[in-house]
Amino acid sequence: MIRHQIYAVSALILSVALTVALADTRLNSGQITNSLAAVSSTPGLNLTADQMRQAVLDNIRNYPGALPPRALTFPQLANLAQFTVEINFDFNSAAIRPESYRNVGAIADALHNPILLGYGFLVIGHTDSVGGRIYNVGLSQRRAEAIVAALVNPFGVNPAVLQPVGMGEEQLRDPAHPTSGVNRRVQLINVGKKFCFGRSGEQFVCQ
């Protein structure tokens, strides 16, 4: 009986320890803020969301196949401050699952931080390889737009600082396992100061 009690107590302690560990690794706005503010003097990016979307379609046309034979790259983005987060959606849908709204809220809290005030951000959606490449581009675009919509309402982020881009499966995080869930993610990239503020707090587009 005593041995069983010891095992039970040990199991309880292990369960509590695991719960604490999981709680400690949950996403928080401070992590996102620190990552996105890492290059606070980033110059304006000479690359638009429309150009990125067109580059995705060009990549599929130029390098056809069931899977991307080569990953699409944007060298202009490589050294910009960025953060990647997992957002769960309903299957084959742009509907954000309820358990992911905490992460969306953490993103919103970070974007409301004064450190990031006035900066612009790409919101890039990525999928795994389930489904056709063209289809996945559309799905990831809708999902990126859903994230932007959620950040704007109910979280009140300024829509003018957000640009959604659907990357589909053109930048798999784990090409060796293209259907893996790690490939389904949302990437935030700080593209530089978009709005500046006058002495009285008035907002204007930075030159």
By C-alpha distance, which of 74, 78, 84, 79 is closest to 186? 84
HSE-CB of 103 using CA atoms within 13 angstroms: 20
Q: Where are the domains of the chain?
A: 28-205
CB atoms within 10 A of CB 84: 14
Q: Could you tell me if 167 and 126 are in contact, meaning their C-beta atoms sit under 8 angstroms apart?
A: yes
In terms of DSSP bridges, do strands 203-205 and 195-197 run parallel, antiparallel, or are they unpaired?
Answer: antiparallel
CATH of domain 28-205: 3.30.1330.60
92 conformational bin, left if phi > 0, alpha if psi -120 to 50, beta if neither: left
For residue 24, the model assigns a pLDDT of 34
pLDDT (0 to 100) of residue 63: 96
User: Could you tell me if 91 and 181 are in contact, meaning their C-beta atoms sit under 8 angstroms apart?
Assistant: no
Chunked into runs of 10 residues, the chain (207 residues) has average pLDDT values of 41 32 59 83 72 97 94 92 94 94 96 93 97 97 98 95 97 95 94 69 62
pTM over 0.75: yes
